[in-house]
């Protein structure tokens, strides 16, 4: 039996604002419970909400960046349900008039372009946090503590159409969404810290069927890895059930990263009657063309456009340009380094190679590239050193630990530490002659055609020069001196 997978994602992105959605409390992550609270976000009797304009601006930005239509008339509704992390016992959200509608994102899956349609994006407030006491999980707890620091922090909920066809596609779409959120600088997009969250609606059907299968909602996906893993688990689970002749129950399933399994969260039917109605405490938001155009002008260049430009203007391979645009700062640092190149003959590819090496160092050492203020300047300097054969590209890797997160000029640094390659032919010649004299046996081997021994001789030369010999030059001269070139 051939099964087709149908996935829709609901992404929650926390917005990077100073203050909360409806009050003036700080929206910052606070670890001491109930320190970023006020009468409004704790739902004291008599308080009223006032909308944070920056949230609307951010929603329009994301809408434009994801090819959505921006709704001109917007309304907030109340979603009514009782839970202690929701102090008003309703969440202020958008219901039938969301701010963005009908957009899409393109992603590359196995070198194939896939378009993921976006149903809607709407603004809403986050809930508070419950800390269960006496046990690690809710069922064993003796009681719970309510912390409202996070309550009413602004969120955008981004709902995709059920058009995602695999767990990998889901992860790639999610990664793309994060990339855009970060380019727009409207959110941190950090899944581990919960500023980017996702629920997946998963169903399967026989290939060729038009009708969708019964879906389940998988929650608690706290990393990109979990997104992929949990969806695959759920697909396998559903296939097993159907192939055994069973039926899928529509339910919510909780993913447990530690045990790599999902468990059912059954809830009573009545919990789903949210009794939405327009919030009478808030007034409609009317977004006109002028507002949209103002925001459009503020939009930064987005990764897809930059990639195209890098390929067209700089002749970079697609792979390079995709990697360079993975985050906005890297793309900018690369481009600035190239524009301010210290040698006319430095090529974009040389600069790109150094920039990627530089960025990889941050990634593999878990360093925060966003705080690397001298990256562009140092990438430029390092490219110059490579371009002029002052150092080898392997030397770059070895000096990065000393210079990143400092304001060292790499050129000065190499000079100070005496790391420049020995490219003086006279000096190199006498060193090579010494090595031949000290190693007559291997020298003879090379002369008689055993070329593998060149490696040994090069090692000796490097040892004598403390690694500073220009390897290409040394190799060439060694051969000349042995009369085999």
Positions touching another protein (CB under 8 A) are 17-19, 24-26, 32-35, 37-39, 42-56, 75, 78, 80, 82, 84, 87-90, 130-133, 138-139, 141-148, 265-268, 270-271, 273, 275-278, 280-286
Minimal distance, residue 24 CB to Zn ion, in Å: 7
Minimal distance, residue 5 CB to Zn ion, in Å: 42
Q: How many CB atoms lie within 10 A of CB 419?
A: 19
Minimal distance, residue 9 CB to another protein, in Å: 25
Residue 334 CB partners (closer than 8 Å, separation 6+):
324, 351, 352, 355, 376, 379
Residue 38 or residue 51: which is nearer to Zn ion going by CB?
A: 38
Cα dist. 127→81, 149, 461 in Å?
12, 9, 66
Distance CA 171, CA 108 (A): 11
Which of another protein, Zn ion, none does 90 bind, CB closer than 5 to 8 A by kind?
another protein
Choices 34-42, 155-163, 210-218, 394-402 (CB under 5 A): range interacting with Zn ion: 34-42
Residue 102 or residue 131: which is nearer to another protein going by CB?
A: 131
Choices 32-40, 98-106, 160-168, 386-394 (CB under 5 A): range interacting with Zn ion: 32-40
Number of shown-chain residues binding Zn ion (CB under 5 A):
5
Which of Zn ion, another protein, none does 393 bind, CB closer than 5 to 8 A by kind?
none
State the sign of the Cα–Cα–Cα–Cα dihedral 293, 295, 299, 305: negative
Distance CA 38, CA 24 (A): 8
Minimal distance, residue 312 CB to Zn ion, in Å: 49
Minimal distance, residue 294 CB to another protein, in Å: 14
Minimal distance, residue 187 CB to another protein, in Å: 14
Residue 247 CB partners (closer than 8 Å, separation 6+):
214, 241
Vertex 364: Cα angle to 325 and 105 (nearest 5): 30
CA atoms within 13 A on the CB side of 33: 10
Residue 473 CB partners (closer than 8 Å, separation 6+):
423, 425, 428
> Is residue 43 near Zn ion by the rule CB under 5 A?
no
Cα dist. 115→97, 162, 278 in Å?
24, 12, 33
Distance CA 334, CA 354 (A): 9
- Bridge partner list, 3: 206
Which of another protein, Zn ion, none does 270 bind, CB closer than 5 to 8 A by kind?
another protein
> Is residue 23 near Zn ion by the rule CB under 5 A?
yes
Choices 21-29, 96-104, 131-139, 466-474 (CB under 5 A): range interacting with Zn ion: 21-29
> Is residue 38 near Zn ion by the rule CB under 5 A?
yes
- Left, alpha or beta for 467 (phi > 0: left; psi -120 to 50: alpha)? left
Alpha helices in 222-374 (DSSP H): 224-243, 289-298, 303-314, 318-324, 328-339, 348-364
Residue 41 or residue 180: which is nearer to another protein going by CB?
A: 41
> Given candidates 25, 59, 62, 121, which one binds Zn ion under the rule CB under 5 A?
25
Minimal distance, residue 133 CB to another protein, in Å: 8
Contact 221/227 with Cβ under 8 angstroms?
yes
Choices 20-28, 316-324, 334-342, 472-480 (CB under 5 A): range interacting with Zn ion: 20-28
Residue 143 or residue 207: which is nearer to another protein going by CB?
A: 143
Q: How many CB atoms lie within 10 A of CB 279?
A: 19
> Is residue 65 near Zn ion by the rule CB under 5 A?
no
> Is residue 51 near Zn ion by the rule CB under 5 A?
no
Contact 79/93 with Cβ under 8 angstroms?
yes
User: In whole angstroms, what separates CA 251 from the centre of its chain?
Assistant: 30
Choices 30-38, 107-115, 359-367, 415-423 (CB under 5 A): range interacting with Zn ion: 30-38
What torsion, rounded to 10 degrees, do the Cα atoms 323, 326, 332, 334 define? Answer: -20
Residue 41 or residue 242: which is nearer to Zn ion going by CB?
A: 41
Residue 139 or residue 448: which is nearer to another protein going by CB?
A: 139
Residue 78 or residue 323: which is nearer to Zn ion going by CB?
A: 78
> Is residue 41 near Zn ion by the rule CB under 5 A?
yes
* Residue whose pair of structure tokens reads 């601006």 in the numeric block: 57
Which of Zn ion, another protein, none does 78 bind, CB closer than 5 to 8 A by kind?
another protein
Contact 439/431 with Cβ under 8 angstroms?
no
Residue 52 or residue 351: which is nearer to another protein going by CB?
A: 52
Distance CA 104, CA 433 (A): 67
Which of Zn ion, another protein, none does 32 bind, CB closer than 5 to 8 A by kind?
another protein
Residues recorded for the chain: 485
Minimal distance, residue 385 CB to another protein, in Å: 44
> Is residue 28 near Zn ion by the rule CB under 5 A?
no
Residue 90 or residue 255: which is nearer to Zn ion going by CB?
A: 90
Site residues for Zn ion per CB under 5 A: 23, 25, 38, 40-41
């Amino acid at each position: 039996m051939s099964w087709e997978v149908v996935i829709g994602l609901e992404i929650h992105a926390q917005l990077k604002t100073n203050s909360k959605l409806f009050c003036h409390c700080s929206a910052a992550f606070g670890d001491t419970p109930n320190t970023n609270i006020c009468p409004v976000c704790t739902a004291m009797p008599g308080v009223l909400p006032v909308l944070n304009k920056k949230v609307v601006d951010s929603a329009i930005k994301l809408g434009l960046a994801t090819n959505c239509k921006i709704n001109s008339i917007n309304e907030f509704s109340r979603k009514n349900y009782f839970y202690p992390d929701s102090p008003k016992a309703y969440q202020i959200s958008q219901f039938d008039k969301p701010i963005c509608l009908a957009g899409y994102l393109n992603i590359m899956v196995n070198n194939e372009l896939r378009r993921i349609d976006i149903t809607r994006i709407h603004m809403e407030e986050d809930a508070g946090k419950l800390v269960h006491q006496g046990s690690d999980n809710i069922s064993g707890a003796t009681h719970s503590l309510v912390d409202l620091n996070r309550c009413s922090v602004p969120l955008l909920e981004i709902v995709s159409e059920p058009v995602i066809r695999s767990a990998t596609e889901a992860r790639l779409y999610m990664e793309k969404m994060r990339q855009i959120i970060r380019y727009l600088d409207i959110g941190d997009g950090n899944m581990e810290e919960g500023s980017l969250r996702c629920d997946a609606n998963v169903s399967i059907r026989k290939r060729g069927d038009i009708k969708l299968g019964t879906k389940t909602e998988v929650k608690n996906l706290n990393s990109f890895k979990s997104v992929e893993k949990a969806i695959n688990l759920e697909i396998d689970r559903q296939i097993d059930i159907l192939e055994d002749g069973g039926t899928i129950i529509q339910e919510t399933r909780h993913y447990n990263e530690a045990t790599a399994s999902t468990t059912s969260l059954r809830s009573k039917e009545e919990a789903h009657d949210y009794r939405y109605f327009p919030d009478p405490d808030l007034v409609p938001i009317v977004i006109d063309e002028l507002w949209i155009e103002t925001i459009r002008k503020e939009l930064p260049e987005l990764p897809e456009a930059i990639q195209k430009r890098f390929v067209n203007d700089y002749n970079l391979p697609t792979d390079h340009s995709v990697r360079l645009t993975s985050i906005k700062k890297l793309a900018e640092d690369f481009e600035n380094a190239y524009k301010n190149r210290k040698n006319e003959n430095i090529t974009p590819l040389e600069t790109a190679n150094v920039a990627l090496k530089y960025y990889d160092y941050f990634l593999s050492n878990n360093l925060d590239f966003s705080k690397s203020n001298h990256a562009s300047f140092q990438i430029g300097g390092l490219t110059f050193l490579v371009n002029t054969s002052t150092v080898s590209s392997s030397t770059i890797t070895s000096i990065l630990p000393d210079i990143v997160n400092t304001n060292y000029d790499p050129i000065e640094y190499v000079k100070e530490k005496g790391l420049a390659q020995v490219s003086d032919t006279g000096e190199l010649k006498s060193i090579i002659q010494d090595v031949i004299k000290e190693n007559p046996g291997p020298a003879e081997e090379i002369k008689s055609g055993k070329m593998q021994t060149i490696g040994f001789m090069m090692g000796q030369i490097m040892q004598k020069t403390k690694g500073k010999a220009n390897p290409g030059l040394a190799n060439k001269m060694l051969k000349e001196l042995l009369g085999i070139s």
